[in-house]
Chain A
Amino acid sequence: DQQVKQNSPSLSVQEGRISILNCDYTNSMFDYFLWYKKYPAEGPTFLISISSIKDKNEDGRFTVFLNKSAKHLSLHIVPSQPGDSAVYFCAARNRDDKIIFGKGTRLHILP
């Protein structure tokens, strides 16, 4: 049973445009959400996070939106740059402090 779902395995976006990566979750007890970025053959790196008591968090080109009623969050990257091409993992923290990851979305930034 997948508690964190990233339904798009891949996404292609033109350089300079907005990239929107989506994530859905099923467990209403999650209290913290994170996005990680991963390049091939490297470990994931933390990108941005949001507490369940907020609906938006912004850090430079990256903004995460949380819609608790819909159990949905999204990561917006604007403007998209070539270095943004990577796999993005959505993750959520549950009450016993385990982090549960989605399967990831591969983002391709097109020139």
Chain B
Amino acid sequence: DGGITQSPKYLFRKEGQNVTLSCEQNLNHDAMYWYRQDPGQGLRLIYYSQIVNDFQKGDIAEGYSVSREKKESFPLTVTSAQKNPTAFYLCASSTSHDSSYNEQFFGPGTRLTVL
């Protein structure tokens, strides 16, 4: 079945450690996105990538890094520089930005807790 997978669903890390969240899609989508959701904050864009080997910062990129070496994969690294890393992280993908609309398909999310 086509879709987006994020693993693991729950992740615990000690303060000061970097952690990488995985996101894989087999929808053949060009664009991929990372959001974080905090209570009362809705979804905020961290990074997005419209094509392989290219990505742009979103609204809250500080303390995060990404790579897009393959079309199917868009891993997010939460670095120790991120001041408030505990959150629910959502990955999404969509067809090319040339499409007539831009419906995004979301993964199930990863809840990261930094202790």
Contact = CB atoms under 8 A, between A and B. Distances in A.
* A and B found bound together: yes
Interface of A: 6, 9, 32, 34, 36, 41-46, 49, 51, 89, 93, 97-104
Q: Is the interface of B mostly helix, strand, loop or mixed?
A: strand
A13 to B, nearest CB: 21
A45 B106 contact: yes
A26 to B, nearest CB: 15
Contact of A32 (B35, B44, B101): B101
Contact of B102 (A9, A41, A99): A99
Contact of B101 (A44, A45, A49, A98): A49
B90 A51 contact: no
A32 B42 CA distance: 19
A44 B43 contact: yes
Contacts of A34: 103
20 contacts: A6-B42, A34-B103, A41-B9, A41-B108, A43-B6, A43-B92, A43-B106, A43-B108, A44-B43, A44-B90, A44-B106, A46-B103, A46-B104, A89-B43, A98-B48, A99-B33, A99-B45, A100-B45, A101-B43, A103-B40
